[in-house]
């Protein structure tokens, strides 16, 4: 097989994320869940790619998780110029790449996958919050897929957020990425979750402050770290304590609040559904309708007719 090396270096994130696979404008979203370097999630897909070796990716202390969304028979990988044994990657398997090792792949067939770019700084921040020993190197076999249902389930939950980033709930995405990063650090590294985190909920003032922030401006782009900072807690501790106090994670509480306000407006005002959608923090009426129907089992228009408005 020919050498995978080419001369130009390709950035993995920002506008060029996906350029190593010769893709332009791959759907993606970046979040900063725990006051660390950004984690980027993108969907990479091509039906008729040109047969060639992937371009270089920027050398950095980060990993790239690749969740296969379709089978990739005879997946061929190089690390540091050394060809690895081929692997028949199946839909649902995850392949890990260490970006310090100059990973390249042979692109010679249609593909679709979800990619998670996780910098070392994300693992460092999780370790600091949990007072855990260093995660260390992420353990994997180059080019070999693993069936990891937790990664697969998180990927499935994030697909819509990536395809429609303008509608993305950043609280939800941050919550999922925090869970994903902690899982990867635990399952493939030396991270030890801190079992000493408080089992109870938030103090009354903390719960009030968090709910005030979540409900004051339903269109505000909040992230978990903003809420945790206001409550004087780490992100992990806040997430657990908020759920202990309310029975749901922050993003789900906010969705419920948005829908409660929307129902009140539909019941007590003549505002159009489009006006209600914007007031309640949805991107547009279509976004509002999808969320309302998913959460209640009926459309906003049907609900409004049932209550006689």
Asked whether the predicted pLDDT for residue 245 surpasses 50, the reply is yes
Token pair in block for residue 136: 């260390």
Residue range 122-128: mean pLDDT, rounded: 85
Topology annotation, domain 252-306: Arc Repressor Mutant, subunit A (1.10.10)
Q: Which residues contact 233 (CB under 8 A, 6 or more apart)?
A: 206, 241
Q: Which residue has the higher pLDDT, 91 or 167?
A: 91
**Region of poorest pLDDT, from 183-197, 202-216, 235-249, 290-304:** 183-197
pLDDT in tens, 12-49: 444 568 899 999 888 888 888 776 678 999 999 999 99
For 139-198, give the secondary structure using H, E and C: CCCCCCCEECHHHHHHHHHHHHHHHCHHHCCHHHHHHHHHHHHHHHHHHHCCCCCCCCCC
Query: For the chain, what is the total number of helices (H) and then of strands (E)?
Result: 10, 12
Please tell me the predicted confidence (pLDDT) of residue 309: 57
Upper half-sphere CA count for residue 78 (Cβ side, 13 Å): 20
Please tell me the predicted confidence (pLDDT) of residue 194: 60
Asked whether the predicted pLDDT for residue 229 surpasses 60, the reply is yes
Please tell me the predicted confidence (pLDDT) of residue 36: 66
Please tell me the predicted confidence (pLDDT) of residue 113: 95
Q: Where are the domains of the chain?
A: 14-188, 204-247, 252-306
CATH superfamily, with its number, for domain 14-188? Jelly Rolls (2.60.120.10)
Please tell me the predicted confidence (pLDDT) of residue 55: 94
Please tell me the predicted confidence (pLDDT) of residue 133: 78
Distance CA 294, CA 298 (A): 8
With CA atoms as reference, report the closest residue to 249 among 181, 179, 195.
Answer: 179
Residues in the chain: 309
Residue range 242-258: mean pLDDT, rounded: 89
Asked whether the predicted pLDDT for residue 8 surpasses 60, the reply is no
Residue range 208-224: mean pLDDT, rounded: 86
pLDDT in tens, 134-157: 888 999 999 999 999 999 999 998
Distance CA 205, CA 185 (A): 33
Residue range 110-123: mean pLDDT, rounded: 94
Asked whether the predicted pLDDT for residue 255 surpasses 70, the reply is yes
Q: Which residue has the higher pLDDT, 201 or 3?
A: 201
Confidence of residue 95 (pLDDT cuts 50, 70, 90): very high
Please tell me the predicted confidence (pLDDT) of residue 199: 57
Distance CA 79, CA 109 (A): 20
pLDDT in tens, 178-201: 889 989 998 999 887 664 444 568
Residue range 119-125: mean pLDDT, rounded: 90
Please tell me the predicted confidence (pLDDT) of residue 197: 47
Q: Mean pLDDT score of the chain, rounded to an integer?
A: 86
């Amino acid at each position: 097989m020919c050498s995978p090396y080419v001369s130009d270096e390709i950035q993995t994130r920002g506008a060029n994320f996906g350029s190593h696979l010769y893709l332009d404008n791959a759907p993606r979203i970046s979040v900063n869940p725990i006051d660390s370097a950004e984690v980027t999630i993108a969907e990479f897909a091509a039906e008729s790619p040109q047969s060639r070796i992937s371009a270089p990716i920027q050398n950095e202390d980060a990993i790239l998780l690749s969740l296969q969304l379709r089978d990739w028979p005879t997946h061929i990988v190089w690390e540091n110029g050394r060809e690895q044994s081929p692997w028949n990657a199946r839909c649902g398997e995850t392949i890990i790449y260490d970006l310090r090792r100059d990973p390249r792949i042979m692109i010679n067939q249609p593909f679709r996958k979800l990619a998670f770019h996780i910098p070392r700084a994300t693992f460092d921040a999780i370790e600091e919050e949990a007072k855990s020993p260093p995660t260390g190197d992420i353990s994997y076999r180059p080019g070999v897929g693993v069936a990891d249902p937790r990664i697969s389930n998180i990927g499935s939950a994030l697909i819509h957020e990536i395809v429609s980033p303008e509608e993305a709930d950043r609280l939800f995405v941050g919550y999922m990425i925090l869970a994903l990063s902690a899982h990867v650090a635990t399952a493939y590294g030396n991270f030890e979750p801190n079992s000493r985190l408080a089992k109870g909920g938030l103090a009354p003032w903390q719960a009030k402050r968090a709910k005030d922030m979540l409900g004051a401006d339903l269109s505000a782009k909040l992230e978990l770290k903003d809420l945790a900072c206001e409550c004087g807690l780490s992100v992990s501790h806040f997430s657990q304590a908020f759920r202990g106090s309310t029975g749901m994670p922050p993003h789900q509480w906010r969705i419920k609040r948005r829908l409660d306000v929307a129902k009140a407006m539909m019941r007590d005002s003549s505002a159009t559904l489009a006006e209600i959608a914007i007031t309640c923090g949805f991107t547009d009426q279509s976004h509002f309708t999808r969320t309302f129907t998913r959460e209640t089992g009926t459309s906003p228009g049907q609900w409004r007719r049932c209550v006689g408005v």
